[in-house]
Amino acid sequence: MEELSIIKVGGKVVEEAESLKKLLDDFSGVAGKKILVHGGGRSATALAAKLGIETKMVDGRRITDAPMLEVVTMVYGGLVNKNIVAGLQARKVNAIGLTGADMNVVVSDKRAKGNIDYGFVGDIRAVDANALDSLLSAGTIPVIAPLSHDGKGSMLNINADTMASTVAVALASKYKVNLVFCFELLGVMKDVNDPSSVINEITPSEYEKLKQDGVIEGGMIPKLDNSFEALRKGVSLVRITSANDFSRGDCGTALRL
Amino acid sequence: MEELSIIKVGGKVVEEAESLKKLLDDFSGVAGKKILVHGGGRSATALAAKLGIETKMVDGRRITDAPMLEVVTMVYGGLVNKNIVAGLQARKVNAIGLTGADMNVVVSDKRAKGNIDYGFVGDIRAVDANALDSLLSAGTIPVIAPLSHDGKGSMLNINADTMASTVAVALASKYKVNLVFCFELLGVMKDVNDPSSVINEITPSEYEKLKQDGVIEGGMIPKLDNSFEALRKGVSLVRITSANDFSRGDCGTALRL
């Protein structure tokens, strides 16, 4: 099976000129078929603030009312996505920017109101792996913004980690998928202040032990739960690493079943 | 030769919920292969104002400094484009939103400073008709924002009429192209206050006479010059009409050589 690299980069990396440049250089150097999934939350929060729109987050998720949906559609689908696409084109990478609405690649259901009304936030219903594969096979490189649509005319906000892992699972029937989550740390670390404490590899049983021992806690738990779920659904390898060296094959923390 | 309809709609039509809904219904009903090119100037001006960025226009063209480039990239490439794409997907039209940077479909040169520095405004260098044709042939419907890129990493603002006519000319080698410019009037009119005064058809010699007689003047002249140039470069028919009835084949004013 042919390999496919799916790289997810958070907002900070793509929102600052210096780190964006390095990311684009590194991503351009990734061999073979590849997809970039990006965030953009800091820029969305900054634009919202300038427009007098308050940003409300619950458990790291953005409450997306109608004015905030306009903000994220502008920032994720417009500003951040097109700057990445133009930057990749300058590096001779034939990128195409996509939201879930484009070619209907990712359709979602608006999240039902529970205790919290997240507003225009989507839970992914379906990914069109054939449409994405047709772009990949034509030599184009999808750059996916964390936006979907409901099939009824409304855009929906999607968590970028969830977008990346759901797309990875959908393409696992066609490719040997390596999913890379870039974030601000070097990997999963035993001690965030000690660069030598990166855990090179974690299996499900080791994960359980690391949780029991309190080594892995807080925000890392949903990230790793999500990663192991992607592995169980067919993704070959999940790597959690720094955006600074994701293009090195052995960086950060590898998760395997 | 197979027919291709290229419909250009201005900002006002796509920026108001009621007129956007009608446009999406009408565009969905257009038979055969088709492309939508949209504007978004009013929304860009409104967002810029909210952000304290002054809009400066010279001869109907927007001066696009760096902050304004961010605004138009957000509004044209994000908000307006994705709302159209989601609206078309809801109507089972498999739309894909594009700027010139996406798949490198339209690459441009930043306009040289003359008496006026337009800033990040592009003059189109090349349209990749093969890339657009590959999308059309796969059954997807391009929705093109008036944005291009310089091939060096920067987005560029493009006049939407120019985007539509340049794309039309590029595709004229592959299709019998009907280019439709929708605007706020019923067509080219002898008297803008008299709906019965729409001129049904104008040839180049008639155009010269109408200009001499002062019937066609002001902002209509560049629009018609641009249209006749597209015809001379291979477009089969240009129609100038109201967005309210562009889907009727015989509406407005037809320009032919």
For the segment A189-200, what is each residue's pLDDT rounded down to a tens digit?
998 899 899 999
Query: A72 to chain B nearest CA, in Å?
Result: 9
Q: Quick check: B25 pLDDT over 90?
A: yes
**DSSP secondary structure of A217-237:** -TTHHHHHHHHHHHHHTT-SE
CATH of A3-255, one of 3.90.180.10, 3.40.605.10, 3.60.9.10, 3.40.1160.10: 3.40.1160.10
Handedness of CA A237, A99, A69, B98 (dihedral sign): positive
Q: What is the mean pLDDT of residues A82-94?
A: 98
Those residues with Cβ within 8 angstroms of residue B194's Cβ, 6 or more apart along the chain or in another chain: none
Q: State the CB neighbour count (10 A cutoff) for residue A217.
A: 10
Which of A21, A27, A75, A82 is most worth mutating to test chain B (most B CB atoms within 10 A of its CB)? A82
H helix runs in A73-139, sequence order: 81-90, 129-137
Q: What is the mean pLDDT of residues B220-226?
A: 90
B89/A74 CB distance under 8 A: no
Tokens of B220: 């209509």
| DSSP code for A53 | P
pLDDT band at A84 (very low <50, low <70, confident <90, very high): very high
Q: Which residues of A touch B108 (CB under 8 A)?
A: none
Q: Which residues of B touch A51 (CB under 8 A)?
A: 50-51
Supply the CATH classification number for the domain B3-185+244-250. 3.40.1160.10
> According to the model, what pLDDT value does residue A10 have?
85
**What's the CA angle centered on A39, arms A34 and A43, to 5 degrees?**
140
Closest Cα in chain B to A102: B96
Q: Quick check: A11 pLDDT over 80?
A: no
> According to the model, what pLDDT value does residue B218 have?
84
Query: B138 to chain A nearest CA, in Å?
Result: 9
> According to the model, what pLDDT value does residue B73 have?
98
For the segment A172-215, what is each residue's pLDDT rounded down to a tens digit?
999 999 999 998 889 999 988 998 999 999 999 999 999 999 99
Q: State the CB neighbour count (10 A cutoff) for residue A32.
A: 11
Give one word for A151, left, alpha or beta, with left for phi > 0 and alpha for psi -120 to 50. Answer: left
d(CA A218, CA A223): 10
Residue type at B134 in one-letter notation: S
Q: State the CB neighbour count (10 A cutoff) for residue A106.
A: 29
d(CA B50, CA A241): 39
Round the average pLDDT of chain B to a whole number and report it.
95
> According to the model, what pLDDT value does residue B17 have?
87
Q: Quick check: ipTM above 0.90?
A: yes
Query: B168 to chain A nearest CA, in Å?
Result: 21
| pLDDT above 70: percentage of residues in chain B | 100
Residues of chain A contacting B, Cβ within 8 Å: 47, 50-51, 70, 73-79, 81-83, 85-87, 89-90, 94-99, 101-104, 134, 138, 140, 147, 149-155
Nearest to A192 by CA among A174, A224, A219: A219
**φ/ψ of residue A33, rounded to 5:** -70, 145
Nearest to B177 by CA among B35, B37, B39: B35
For the segment A24-79, what is each residue's pLDDT rounded down to a tens digit?
999 999 999 999 999 999 999 999 999 999 999 997 789 999 999 999 999 999 99
For the segment A243-255, what is each residue's pLDDT rounded down to a tens digit?
888 887 789 999 9
Q: Which residues of A touch B78 (CB under 8 A)?
A: 73-79, 81
For the segment B57-75, what is each residue's pLDDT rounded down to a tens digit?
997 789 999 999 999 999 9
For the segment B82-99, what is each residue's pLDDT rounded down to a tens digit?
999 999 999 999 999 999
Residue B40 is assigned to a ligand binding site = yes
Q: What is the CA radius of gyration of chain B?
A: 18
3 state SS of B120: coil
Which of A103, A107, A130, A156 is most worth mutating to test chain B (most B CB atoms within 10 A of its CB)? A103
> According to the model, what pLDDT value does residue A39 have?
94
Torsion of CA A99, A100, A101, A107, to 10 degrees: -170
Which of B82, B132, B157 is most worth mutating to test chain A (most A CB atoms within 10 A of its CB)? B82
d(CA B170, CA B150): 18
> According to the model, what pLDDT value does residue A80 have?
96
Q: Quick check: A159 pLDDT over 80?
A: yes
Tokens of B146: 């008036």
| pLDDT above 70: percentage of residues in chain A | 100
